[in-house]
Amino acid sequence: MESVVFIFSLIDCCALIFLSVYFIITLSDLECDYINARSCCSKLNKWVVPEVIGHAVVTVLMLISLHWFIFLLNLPIATWNIYRFIMVPSGNMGVFDPTEIHNRGQLKSHMKEAMIKLGFHLLCFFMYLYSATTGARLTDLTLSN
C-alpha cells in the first residue's frame, strides 16, 4: 500500500516537473520574443488548473496516508497555488495576463516562481522515489519472510 501511494505520487510529481519545465520554457520564449504575450499566456493559463489539481491531489494523498512530514512540506506550495488561482482579479484573463505580464517585472517573478517549483518538485521526486523503493523493499522483506 505504501509503495502504491508513493508510486502514484512519483508519477504525479513527474508530471508536475514536466509542467514546471514547460512553464519555464514558455516564459523564456516570451522573454526572448519568440512568441507573443497573448499566445504565451493562453498556453500557460490552460495548465494552471491541472497544476493546482495535480499538486492538491498529492498533498491530500499524503494527508490521508498520514505522512505528516511530506504533507507539511507540500502544504505551503499547494496553498500558494490555490491562493494565486483564487485571487486573480475579475478582469484578468487568468493567472497569466498578457496585458500585465510585461509590467512591473511580472515576467521575472513568474519565472522565479516556476524555477522554485521545479526545484521543489525535483526534491519531492527523489523523496518519493526513495520512499517508494524503501517501501517496496519493506514489502519484499515481509513477503519473503
Partner 1 sequence: MAQPARPAASYRSQNGAGQQPYSNGPVQNQMMHSSDAQGYSPSVPGPYSHQTPSKVPPHPSSGQYNYSGSQNVSQFNSYQGPGQTLNRTPAAPLSGSPVQQTGPVPQVLPPALQNSAAVSSAGGFPPGVSPPMHPNWQYSQAPVSHPAAAQPSHSAPVAGTGPAQPPPPLSGNPPGSYQYAASPGGPSLQNSYMKPGSVPPPVTQPLTPLHPPSRPPLGPPPVGGPPLIRPSTVTAGAPSTQSLLHSATNQEGDATSAAGDGSVVQNSYDAIEGGGLMATPHPSAPANLKMNRNVGYSYPALPPGYQNTSPPGAPGMQASALQYPDGSKHFHQPPLGTNHLNASMGSLSLQQEGLRPVNLLQERNILPTTLLQAPVPNLHEDIQKLNCNPELFRCTLTNIPQTQALLNKAKLPLGLLLHPFKDLSQLPVVTSSTIVRCRSCRTYINPFVSFLDQRRWKCNLCYRVNDVPEEFMYNPVTRVYGEPHKRPEVQNATIEFMAPSEYMLRPPQPPVYLFVFDVSHNAIETGYLNTVCKTLLDNLDLLPGNTRTKIGFITFDSTIHFYSLQEGLSQPQMLIVSDIEDVFIPMPENLLVNLNENKELIQDLLKSLPQMFTKSLETQSALGPALQAAFKLMSPSGGRISVFQTQLPSVGMGALKSREEPNQRATAKDIHLTPSTDFYKKLALDCSGQQVAVDLFLLSGQYSDLASLGCISRYSAGSVYYYQSYHHKHNPVQVEKLQKELKRYLTRKIGFEAVMRIRCTKGLSIHTFHGNFFVRSTDLLSLPNVNPDAGYAVQMSVEESLTDMQVVSFQSALLYTSSKGERRIRVHTMCLPVVTTLSDVYLGADVQAITGLLANMAVDRSVSATLSDARDALVNAVIDSLSAYRSSVLSIQQPGLMAPSSLRLFPLYVLALLKQKAFQTGTNARLDERIFSMCQVKNQPLVYLMLMTHPSLYRVDNLTDEGALNINDRTIPQPPILQLSVEKLSREGAYLMDAGSVMFLWIGKSCGQSFISQVLGVPNYGSIPQNMTHLPELETAESIRTVAFISWLREQRPFFPILYVIKDDSPLKSSFLQNMIEDRTESALSYYEFLLHIQQQVNK
Contact residues: partner 1, CB under 8 A: 30-31, 33, 36-38, 89-93, 98-99, 101-105, 107
Asked whether 26 and 40 are in contact (CB, 8 A), the reply is yes
Q: Which is closer to partner 1, CB of 46 or CB of 137?
A: 46
Q: Which is closer to partner 1, CB of 31 or CB of 140?
A: 31
Asked whether 16 and 51 are in contact (CB, 8 A), the reply is yes
Rounded to an integer, what distance in angstroms lies between the CA atom of residue 115 and that of residue 121? 10
**DSSP H helices in 2-105:** 2-31, 37-64, 68-86
Q: How far is the CB of 40 from partner 1 (least distance, A)?
A: 10
Q: How far is the CB of 92 from partner 1 (least distance, A)?
A: 6
Q: How far is the CB of 112 from partner 1 (least distance, A)?
A: 15
